[in-house]
Amino acid sequence: MPSPRHYPRAFAFLALLLRACAESVLEPVNTRPLEPPAIYRTWWSEVEACTGVTGRFERVRWLEADVIRNRDEGTEHVGAWEPPHTIYIKADRLMYMRGVKHEMTHDLLQTRDHGSPTFRRCGG
């Protein structure tokens, strides 16, 4: 067991490791502000009901992007969430309910993790 004098260094290392693991590899390209369509409020309410978590829709910063690319894999995605409250949606998928709700679920649960039962149930 490490001595107490090593705790600050261990905690700093752990925080750095967690931050590195939590950083997104999704890269939005050619972004611009998005005025969320009215249906997004309905979808938000549905995701709130599913997750059991409430949040202010107005706190979300919405952006559309021409491309949302995974830097590591070279794949493209429908959306991306950036903490604490930024959601990117691919411009040609703005009305793709499942993709938009997926990003809303990230925002309400405040996690990038897809593994929880709540996320799998509500975020697709």
- 26-54 per-position pLDDT tens digit: 899 999 999 999 999 999 999 999 999 99
CB 123 within 8 A of CB 111: no
CB 79 within 8 A of CB 97: no
Give residue 124's pLDDT: 73
Give residue 89's pLDDT: 98
Q: Is residue 111 part of a domain?
A: yes
Radius of gyration of the chain (CA): 17
Q: Is residue 7 part of a domain?
A: no
Give residue 23's pLDDT: 58
Q: How many domains does the chain have?
A: 1
Q: Is residue 98 part of a domain?
A: yes
Domain of 46?
A: 26-123
Q: Is residue 72 part of a domain?
A: yes
Q: Reduced to 3 states, what is the DSSP secondary structure of residue 120? A: helix
Q: Is residue 20 part of a domain?
A: no
Give residue 18's pLDDT: 36
**DSSP 8-state secondary structure symbol assigned to residue 55:** -
Ranges in the chain, pLDDT < 50? 1, 10-22
Give residue 16's pLDDT: 35
Give residue 107's pLDDT: 98
CA gap 62, 81 in Å, rounded: 10
CATH number at residue 70: 3.30.2010
